[in-house]
Amino acid sequence: MNLLRRIIVIFAVACASRIAVAEDAAHFRQPVAIVVIDDDRIVTANQRSGSLTLIDQSRKDVVAEFSVERSLSDVVRVPGQPLLLVTDQANHQLIVIQITGDLLVPQQRLTVSPYPMSVRVSADGNRAFVASLWSRTITVVDLKSLDKAEQAFVRTIPLSFAPKEQLYLDSAKKLIVADAFGSKLAVLDPDTGIVDSVRELPAHSIRQLRLHPTKPRLMMSHQMLSRLAHTTFDDVHWGGLMVNCLRSLPLADVLNPKADLLKQSQLDYLGGPEQGAGDPAGFVITSTGLIAVALSGTDEIAVDDGNHLYAKRIKTGSRPTAMVLDTTGSRAFVVNTLSDSVTIIDIQHRTSLATISLGATPDLTAADRGERLFHSASLSHDRWFSCASCHVDGHSNGLLNDNFTDESFGTAKRVLSLKGVGDTAPYAWSGRFTTLAEQIQHSVKSTMQGDELSEEQTGDLEVYLRTLPPAPPTGAMDQSASERGARLFVRLDCNRCHTQPAYTSARTADVKLKDEQGLSKFNPPSLRGVSQNGPYFHDGRAETLSDVFSKFQHQLESKLTDDEVRDLVAYLNSL
């Protein structure tokens, strides 16, 4: 990097007490979002270091890294202003950043609903929309009223699912919101707070939403998991179990709540037998309709040849996720989340132009290595999927998978969350595996049809999984109802199977709900974060927690009153 420029920056920073430049010492950044400021400069938002990295991409150099605290999940540019909006998922804040020359200066911090994961801005720069994951809300912010704190919040809109990716349609003034884990797509009116529609797609892990540049279509990257396929070599090999896709839906159908979303859906398959395209994530579309999509499980970008065939692959760093077009529209930048770098590609010529390192990183610990394995599609046969494909971000896509963990096929069961898994032995619906190591090895070999893991790899994955905390509760609760619910929980003997502190136990219990082979004895799943784990029971037959009691009378000798159900659910929602 230009030494003089660097000195100037550091000097300027040293003078401005509110800006913290990250140390040069080796540290992990994990860039997860990227934004273009101008022809030369781009900014990445870094999840692990809680910093923003300013890059001069024409010089292929890092200008500076700014510590913003504490864990950044997204960054966007406010149109028409030298401002960035950044979300911090650890401090639960929306942060306004001023761009002054080569400095990124935090101006303001607004506390928003917990776990903000993405932010979008209207084209006129007046409104921002923040999607908060575990608290399941969309917060609408008036950017013009930021200095009058309370007025800055226009409204919060609750959702029935955990949101992550969003797309704001300026022409229609609607916000399209995708499920962070599973299959839901919502359309809301941020001006009124009305949720126009929540619909399901045959999809999960919807990682990016974009408008097609020339056609009135909504594009999305996602995966599809078949409930009917088995986790056998052949079903995996021939793309029967999991496929990686790019889908396009007519915008008119998306915006019309009564329309059948799928009627005019077009699907592109990424990869195929012998060349899986595990975990499609961010993608870009050029003005001529060429698409380049990051395959975060295979460390590649797949580029369309113009015929909906994505044969050409460009190698990137480790776990490419977010992607954005440059100002010319012919090149793209992608962040490699696990190798702390940015790759620049030429889309038309389908080549990589350069890789820019965000800075020195330390040696990998076991947990770091485990994290890489968890997100790598190389653990599955032909790289069709990674652990993270079903256990999205360590949680669950909420769908059914027919694997051989229960020692039968034809008995699909809900994918279990791995959040907090360290404390919830034994593992699997039947409690078959007493140690996490055994479960890990079985999952990779049998469910993923991958090669047998070495002891070191198993150990690394285990260390990583043990770092995953339980999912936070949705937080929707009435305190007194929750207290009554807690007493009910004890009175009804729920804690016999769902025993504190992890709300699980080592036993199996007959819940009188059978799978297709007649198995009805299951190891009680942990209830920590249970509000995030719908639908419920081994086959997801209970849509909501209320259904568990009112529809299925789960382990109840007599029916509960509506009030009792409400109180019990309030308590469970608080775990």
Partner 1 sequence: MRASNWSGLAILAIAAMATLQCGPVLANDEESTKPTIVLDHELPSHLAAVTWSLFETIDQHHISPPSRETLMTAVANAAYQGDRKHVQVAAAKLLACQSQAEFISAFVDLWQLSHSKVRPANSYLSLLTTSMASRVSIVPAAEYVVQEQLQNNRYVGLGVTVGNDHGPNISFATIVPGGAADRGGLVNGETVLEVDGHDTTNVPLGEVISKWLRGPKGTQVTLKLASRENLAAREVILTRSVVRIDSVRGRNGSSVSQGNFRDQPSVPIGYLEVGIKGSTLQELRDAEIRMRADGIRVLILDFRFGDSSSIFHHARLVADGLLDGGPMWSWQDRSGEWHVEVADRECLFRDIPLVIMVNQHSGSLHTAVAAALQDAGRATIVGVKPEEAVVVLNSYPFANGEYYATLPSAKLVRGRTDRSWPLIPDHPTEDAAAAAVLKTAADRFAAKGVSPTSPSVPNLFYIRRGVESGSSSVSALFPANLQEVEVLTRLGVRSLTRVSPSGNIQSREVENETARKIAMQLLENVYKQDQEINRSVPE
Pairing of strands 31-36, 153-158: unpaired
Q: Which of residues 505-524 bind partner 1 (CB under 8 A)?
A: 516, 518
Cβ-contact 178, 163 below 8 angstroms: yes
Toward partner 1, which CB reaches closer, 99 or 225?
225
Candidate residues 101, 191, 214, 238; the one interacting with partner 1 per rule CB under 8 A: 238
Give me the least distance between CB of 554 and partner 1, in Å please: 22
Shortest Å, Cβ 508 to partner 1: 21
Min CB(575)–partner 1 separation in Å: 32
- CA dist 103 and 105 (Å) reads 6
Q: How far apart are CA 10 and CA 4, in angstroms?
A: 10
Distance CA 262, CA 259 (A): 9
Alpha carbon distance, N-terminus to C-terminus of the chain: 49
265 vs 495 by CB, closer to partner 1:
265
Q: Which is nearer to partner 1, 265 or 499 (CB)?
A: 265
Which residues in 396-435 contact partner 1 (CB under 8 A)?
410
Least Å from the CB of residue 233 to partner 1:
8
**Residue 206 Cβ vs partner 1, minimum distance, rounded to whole Å:** 14
Pick from 58, 171, 264, 454 the residue near partner 1 by CB under 8 A. 264
195-234 residues near partner 1, rule: CB under 8 A: 201-202, 224, 226-230, 234
In this structure, what are the phi and psi dihedrals at residue 202, rounded to the nearest 5 degrees?
Answer: -75, 80
- In the complex with partner 1, which residue's Cβ is closer, 277 or 565? 277
Residue from 60, 155, 237, 445 touching partner 1 (CB under 8 A): that is 237
Q: How far is the CB of 50 from partner 1 (least distance, A)?
A: 39
- Report the residue from 88, 165, 179, 235 that binds partner 1 according to the rule CB under 8 A: 235
The rounded radius of gyration (Å) of the Cα atoms in the chain is 24
Choose between 163 and 239: whose C-beta lies nearer to partner 1. 239
Q: Measured from the CB of residue 239, what is the shortest distance to partner 1 in angstroms?
A: 5
Q: Minimum distance from CB of 382 to partner 1 (Å)?
A: 12
**How far apart, in Å, are the Cα atoms of 174 and each of 166, 189, 443?**
10, 5, 41
Q: Per this entry, what is the length of the chain?
A: 575
Q: How far is the CB of 261 from partner 1 (least distance, A)?
A: 9
- Scanning the structure block, which residue is given the tokens 């992990």? 28
Nearer to partner 1, 124 or 305 (CB): 305
Distance of CA 51 to the CA centre of its chain: 19
Beta carbons within 10 angstroms of residue 191's beta carbon = 13
Q: For the residues of 484-544, what is the DSSP string, one character each?
A: HHHHHHHHTTGGGTS-TTTT--S--EE-S---TT---EEPPPP-TTGGGS-SBSTT--B-S
Which is nearer to partner 1, 84 or 203 (by Cβ)? 203
Give backbone dihedrals phi and psi of 447, rounded to 5 degrees, phi first: -70, -40
Of residues 265-284, which lie at the interface with partner 1 (CB under 8 A)?
265, 267, 269, 272-273
CB nearer to partner 1: pick between 232 and 318:
232
What sign for the dihedral angle of Cα 539, 542, 545, 548? negative
Helix (H) or strand (E) holding 294: strand 291-295
- Spell 259-275 as b/e; 16+ CB within 10 A means b: bebeeebebbebbbeeb
Binding mask 292-331 for partner 1 (x = CB under 8 A): ---------------xxx----------------------
Q: Which residues pair with 352 in a beta bridge?
A: 345
* Binds partner 1 by CB under 8 A, chosen from 163, 239, 317, 535: 239
Judged by CB, which is closer to partner 1: 70, or 313?
313
Using CB under 8 A, list all residues that contact partner 1: 201-202, 224, 226-230, 234-235, 237-240, 262-265, 267, 269, 272-273, 307-309, 410, 516, 518
